Amino acid sequence: AAGVIQSPRHLIKEKRETATLKCYPIPRHDTVYWYQQGPGQDPQFLISFYEKMQSDKGSIPDRFSAQQFSDYHSELNMSSLELGDSALYFCASSFRSRGAYTGELFFGEGSRLTVL
């Protein structure tokens, strides 16, 4: 079965550079979530989108922005990168519409960002 696809899997950037991560949800899933996981930490919620509109916002820095496009894929844009932004970034998707929501989020394999 198709899973959540994230790209790139690995990314190395210098401080103050920008980075863009992409997420392709499971086909027919209408909700996308972004999480950040530091070394040895649990995933922290950043932001989510439902039907291409921002649904909820967590601990996402102002330097980061995200959107969901008409084909439901999502991009996380990170600017003015700092050393502390080095982490694994996960995208997850779920299907919420028409009362069929089950609560299950399915995660991609993540994008590892290293800021030097």
Partner 1 sequence: GQQLNQSPQSMFIQEGEDVSMNCTSSSIFNTWLWYKQEPGEGPVLLIALYKAGELTSNGRLTAQFGITRKDSFLNISASIPSDVGIYFCAGQDRSGGSNYKLTFGKGTLLTVNP
Query: Which of these segments, 22-30, 61-69, 71-79, 98-106, binds partner 1 (CB under 8 A)?
Result: 98-106
**Which residues within the stretch 6-35 sit at the binding site for partner 1 (CB under 8 A)?**
31, 33
Distance (Å, rounded) from C-alpha 101 to C-alpha 95? 6
Contact between 32 and 49 under an 8 Å Cβ cutoff? The reply is yes
Site string for partner 1, 51-80 (x = CB under 8 A): ----xx-x----------------------
> Rounded CA gap, 1 and 58, in Å?
30
Phi, psi of 85 (to 5 degrees): -80, -10
Residues that bind partner 1 (CB under 8 A): 4, 31, 33, 41-45, 48, 50, 55-56, 58, 88, 90, 92, 94, 96, 101-110, 112
